[in-house]
A and B are shown apart, each in its own frame.
Chain A
Amino acid sequence: MNDFFTILTASIVAINCALLGVFLLLRKMAMVGDAISHAVLPGIVIAYYFSGEKGSVLLLVGATLSGVLATFVIDLFSRKARVQGDAAIGMTYTLLFAVGMILIATLMQGNADIDQECVLYGDIALVNMDKIIIDDNLYIGPRALYTELVAGLVVFGSIIVGFKGFKLLSFNEDFAKSVGIKTSRWHYYLMGLVALTTVVAFEVVGAVLVVGFLIIPPATAQLVTHKLKAMLVWACVFGVLAVIAGYMAAVYFNVSITGAMVTVSGSVFALVFGIMRLRRSKSAKSVIAAEI
């Protein structure tokens, strides 16, 4: 049962990340996803310090805001201070992450709940420790599962409702502005969703590997389809596939679960890439053969 809940929780993380990752990838903002996932740390620590519990709404809001703040600072650096784009990203998130580390070391001294290890790498194996039990004895799954579900509903709902907006923002921002769409609102809303997703995912998969969930499945999906809706579906499929196969591999080889998931994800990408190459060169050859 615990296995099932762990896989289910991680699958929802994977789906949330995959859906948003598609738009990050298409907007060439993969590294901004990385930046956000690191920059939420100070928000998490500060909110945790004041609220004293992991699951609080205050923590979610605080951390999400600090993620959005990071994208705001990145924009500021690159637009106003004319720092090169990737340098602006590197500066911002290392700075915010470092502040978070210092805050952990000072505010969280001797606190077992939140430490650097858990922030960086998550603790998927411990997800089941924090159980929700109703009627005194009916176990309905870990708390993280429900947090993820709520976040998942928000992400999924936003993408369904705002599909046209996110599509146009990703394809042609200037044109979107020209027809009167408030692109900066859409931009910060998307960034907020990414921040929310990484915040709720961090205790499951950690701040470092969440990027693997955000970027690898959409990149794999892009190899197999030329349609946006299909790309969203495929990204989810590849994400969940990596979760299930990664979990089994981790149990079998007795290694880090998240590590195994991201490794599998990367391997799937390589495999799909290889297959597509093979198919393409085969069909090219058959065309040439047919012409001869």
Chain B
Amino acid sequence: MKQDIHAIEVHNLTVSYDGRPVLWDIDFNLECGKIIGVIGPNGSGKTTSLKAIMGLLKPSSGFVKIFGKSLDEVRDRVAYVPQRESVDWDFPASVLDVVLMGRYRGTNLFRRSNKTDLEIALQSIAKVGLTEFKDRQISQLSGGQQQRVFIARALAQQADLYLMDEPFVGVDAATESAILSLLQEMKNQGKTVLIIHHDLQTVSDYFDYLVLLNTRLIAKGEPHEVLTKENLSNAYGGQLTLLSKIVDLIRQNEFPVREKGVDL
């Protein structure tokens, strides 16, 4: 641990839609310089928690701090990657157009994007391997390529904290590992990455820390602490046969985790 400042502090967070709480009294602190996974079944409030952290939804109670401050004070240090389906990909824009949006700020909207912006955008496109598609219209990309456009846009923000909503959906295995090594590299530079993830089989490989949600906070901690049969059945309900399979799988995978130097 570098300092005492957490990348994200979530205190007693409750968020409701129409008076119906979908997140209930959530509480966690996330350290800087880690890759953190948020997992939980469909409708468990993962997207909602990200939106609440980003100030897109007003919590009914509780509060969030980022790098020990309110979001508005540190906004330039945070990048948000929404779920891919949240936008219309038929929008008339090229890959470069969208990635350049990562350079937009509330304060620079009225000036044209400059050379630095363009360079940063092109570098970000190169990092996700889309250089040959940079002028392509975004509707003419595959789902995985569109996802990479979103990641490039976040990279162009040059933030310290990245919040990503299911960045691996519809991405092939090769791209997934390419993105993952990109994230590892960012982590090594001291950046913090929070990812909503669905694939339980890969979580223990990918993440340093896990938050398991199902409206309430079911568990938080290092993968081996969180991925227990009890926690998973609390979160995912009764499908125990499936769950015990997953737990077995995770146990088999524990060896490589240790190898990576995660102190257990």
A-to-B contact residues, CB < 8 Å? 26, 28, 82, 161-162, 164-165, 167-168, 170-172, 174-182, 222, 225-228, 230-231
How far is B97's CA from A148's CA once the two chains are assembled, in angstroms?
Answer: 32
B-to-A contact residues, CB < 8 Å? 18, 51, 54-56, 72, 75-76, 78-80, 82, 86-88, 91-94, 97-98, 101, 104-107, 109-110, 113, 137, 139-140, 153, 157
**In the bound complex, do residue A180 and residue B75 qualify as a contact, i.e. CB atoms below 8 Å apart?**
yes
Q: Which 10 A-B pairs have the closest CB atoms?
A: A180-B106, A226-B137, A178-B80, A180-B75, A228-B92, A165-B109, A181-B106, A172-B87, A171-B91, A178-B54
**In the bound complex, do residue A171 and residue B93 qualify as a contact, i.e. CB atoms below 8 Å apart?**
yes
**In the bound complex, do residue B55 and residue A177 qualify as a contact, i.e. CB atoms below 8 Å apart?**
yes
From B55, B76, B104, B140, A168 is in contact (CB under 8 Å) with: B104
Closest to A232 in B: B92
Residues of chain A contacted by B107 (CB below 8 angstroms): 180
**In the bound complex, do residue B56 and residue A174 qualify as a contact, i.e. CB atoms below 8 Å apart?**
yes
Closest CB-CB distance, B195 to chain A, in whole Å?
16
Residues of chain A contacted by B93 (CB below 8 angstroms): 167, 171, 227-228
Additional pairs, 12, CB under 8 Å, beyond known A172-B101, A174-B82, A226-B137: A161-B110, A162-B109, A162-B110, A165-B109, A175-B80, A175-B101, A176-B104, A177-B54, A180-B75, A181-B105, A226-B92, A227-B137
How far is B56's CA from A124's CA once the two chains are assembled, in angstroms?
Answer: 46
7 cross-chain CB contacts under 8 A: A26-B91, A178-B79, A179-B75, A180-B106, A180-B107, A181-B109, A227-B94
How far is B93's CA from A195's CA once the two chains are assembled, in angstroms?
Answer: 27
How far is B157's CA from A201's CA once the two chains are assembled, in angstroms?
Answer: 42
Residues of chain B contacted by A161 (CB below 8 angstroms): 110
**In the bound complex, do residue B86 and residue A174 qualify as a contact, i.e. CB atoms below 8 Å apart?**
yes
How far is B183's CA from A289's CA once the two chains are assembled, in angstroms?
Answer: 45
**In the bound complex, do residue B72 and residue A180 qualify as a contact, i.e. CB atoms below 8 Å apart?**
yes
How far is B55's CA from A243's CA once the two chains are assembled, in angstroms?
Answer: 46
How far is B86's CA from A179's CA once the two chains are assembled, in angstroms?
Answer: 17
From A171, A178, A180, B87 is in contact (CB under 8 Å) with: A171
**In the bound complex, do residue A171 and residue B75 qualify as a contact, i.e. CB atoms below 8 Å apart?**
no
Closest CB-CB distance, B217 to chain A, in whole Å?
23
**In the bound complex, do residue B92 and residue A26 qualify as a contact, i.e. CB atoms below 8 Å apart?**
yes
Q: A177-B56, A179-B106, A181-B104 are in contact. Are A222 and B92 (CB under 8 A)?
A: yes
How far is B87's CA from A28's CA once the two chains are assembled, in angstroms?
Answer: 11
**In the bound complex, do residue A178 and residue B98 qualify as a contact, i.e. CB atoms below 8 Å apart?**
no
**In the bound complex, do residue A178 and residue B106 qualify as a contact, i.e. CB atoms below 8 Å apart?**
no
How far is B98's CA from A250's CA once the two chains are assembled, in angstroms?
Answer: 44
**In the bound complex, do residue A170 and residue B106 qualify as a contact, i.e. CB atoms below 8 Å apart?**
no
From A26, A82, A178, A222, B56 is in contact (CB under 8 Å) with: A178
Residues of chain A contacted by B104 (CB below 8 angstroms): 164, 168, 176, 179, 181
Residues of chain B contacted by A26 (CB below 8 angstroms): 88, 91-92
From B72, B86, B105, A172 is in contact (CB under 8 Å) with: B86
Closest CB-CB distance, A19 to chain B, in whole Å?
14
Residues of chain B contacted by A231 (CB below 8 angstroms): 92
Closest CB-CB distance, B161 to chain A, in whole Å?
12
Residues of chain A contacted by B72 (CB below 8 angstroms): 180
Closest CB-CB distance, B140 to chain A, in whole Å?
8
How far is B107's CA from A174's CA once the two chains are assembled, in angstroms?
Answer: 17
Residues of chain B contacted by A227 (CB below 8 angstroms): 92-94, 137
